[in-house]
């Protein structure tokens, strides 16, 4: 395959991953607004939880992300494409740190670096 045919799926993959991480961010934001729930209590509250605007938008992000991901895996081997999903962890840490003011620990930094290194190795030599 030539470079052009690989660049487009890469952008679709990255956009899908950002949307997935954005969905997680919106879920957290919505639950900060909604409040804590228990595993047993969530079933009684599910309707009102889903209708919380940030959570509803988070589900929309996940839906679009999933549809875009179908484009990616129609063009790439799953063993090549799926490791990119780990970028979502790094993006989620950035969202948490920058937008939710969560603690950025050394473990999160080192873990993110390892994820990026692993994705780089797979991208360069794993095809």
Q: 123 falls in which pLDDT band (50, 70, 90)?
A: confident
Q: What is the dihedral of CA 107, 108, 111, 116, to 10 degrees?
A: -150
Could you tell me if 9 and 76 are in contact, meaning their C-beta atoms sit under 8 angstroms apart? yes
Q: Report the pLDDT averaged over residues 13-28.
A: 97
List pLDDT tens digits, range 62-121.
999 999 999 999 999 888 899 999 999 999 999 999 999 999 999 999 999 999 999 888
pTM listed for this prediction: 0.87
**Ranges of each domain in the chain:** 3-125
Q: What is the dihedral of CA 108, 97, 32, 18, to 10 degrees?
A: -80
- State the pLDDT at residue 9: 87
List pLDDT tens digits, range 29-43.
999 999 999 998 899
């Amino acid at each position: 395959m030539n470079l052009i045919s690989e660049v487009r799926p890469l952008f679709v993959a990255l956009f899908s991953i950002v949307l997935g991480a954005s969905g997680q961010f919106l879920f957290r934001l919505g639950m900060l607004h909604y409040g804590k729930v228990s595993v047993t209590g969530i079933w009684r509250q599910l309707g009102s939880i889903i209708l919380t605007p940030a959570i509803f938008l988070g589900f929309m992000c996940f839906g679009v992300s999933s549809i875009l991901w179908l484009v990616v895996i129609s063009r790439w081997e799953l063993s090549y494409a799926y490791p990119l999903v780990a970028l979502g962890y790094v993006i989620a840490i950035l969202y948490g740190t920058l937008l939710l003011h969560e603690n950025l620990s050394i473990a999160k930094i080192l873990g993110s670096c390892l994820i990026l290194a692993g994705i780089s190795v797979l991208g360069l030599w794993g095809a």
